Chains A and B, each alone.
Chain A
Amino acid sequence: MNAVDWYLLLAMLLFCIGAYGVLARRNVILIVMCLELMLNAVNIALVAMSNFMPGIAGRGVLFALFIITLAAAEVTVGLAIVIANYRNKRSVQADEFNRLKG
């Protein structure tokens, strides 16, 4: 295994842990936190690729910068939605948001 493979392995494990949290937990805020873990995993993969692949040298860092900025925007809007929903439902458990269920 090359150096980049170890970083990709770490990114993949972090991504799977985050995906498990998104799939299994009930609290919406915790789901947002696990989404952040998944975005971090993708960033690790991008930065590792751009560090070790001469064809795309340095491009991954730019991508990761933009992803971090978009993650900040996403967290702001997502948690605003969570708080607005909490005001109506008095709950942050994802499976209790079933008002649109037929």
Chain B
Amino acid sequence: MPHGDFQPIAFSVIAAWILVAAVGVVTLRNIVHSAIAMVFCFLGVAAIYALLHAELLAIVQILIYVGAISVVILFAIMLTEAQSGPVAMFFNRQSIFALPLSVGVAGVVSAALISAQLPGVGSKALNPGVWQISKALLSEAVFPFELISLVLLAAMIGAILLARREEEDR
């Protein structure tokens, strides 16, 4: 590849890592194994962010996805799987149509990507450092930045309300 900032070997290794882990998430029978494969997939995505010079995003990805979201999902698995017993069917009845549909979409879009020439694309890395991101978060993106704290608070209260056991019922 003639592009200065693109590292083909690192990219292909990480891309293969991500795709293998993602296929594992979708196809593995044991849901705990799927969750572990998902952790590996998130780690690969963090490596892709580091390759794209988005170091802050790579750290945030490891903190939030690998650290928090995976643990929440594993907790939900442990809370629900204990009494469900063995499952006979892992795929639903529409899964016969889902495979050609997703493979078809992937084929069409990748054919379009390979043939198309995206306008205004350079090969120089442009992603901002932590300094520029924090400045942007507190100047031009300050409204969504404040709004998202409200969203997080609402989600926290909503999750507690939804998952709480009603005392008056039993």
Contacts and interface: CB of A to CB of B under 8 A. Distances in A.
Contacts of A99: none
Nearest to B77: A29
B61 A23 contact: no
Instruction: Identify whether the interface residues of B are mostly helix, strand, loop, or mixed.
Output: helix
B76 A5 contact: no
Contacts of A53: 118, 120-122, 126
Interface in A59-90: 60-62, 64-66, 68-77, 79-84, 86-87, 90
Interface string B74-118: 011101110110010111111101110111011001100110001
Contact of B79 (A3, A27, A32, A83): A83
Interface of A: 1-10, 12-14, 16-21, 23-27, 29-30, 32-34, 36-37, 40, 43-44, 47-48, 50-55, 57-58, 60-62, 64-66, 68-77, 79-84, 86-87, 90-95
16 contacts: A1-B114, A4-B118, A6-B11, A13-B106, A23-B94, A29-B73, A37-B22, A37-B38, A43-B57, A50-B127, A51-B52, A75-B73, A76-B156, A79-B159, A83-B163, A95-B92
Given A2-B3, A33-B34, 17 more contacts: A9-B114, A12-B106, A16-B105, A18-B22, A26-B90, A29-B76, A30-B25, A33-B25, A36-B38, A40-B65, A47-B52, A51-B127, A57-B128, A61-B57, A65-B137, A74-B155, A76-B158
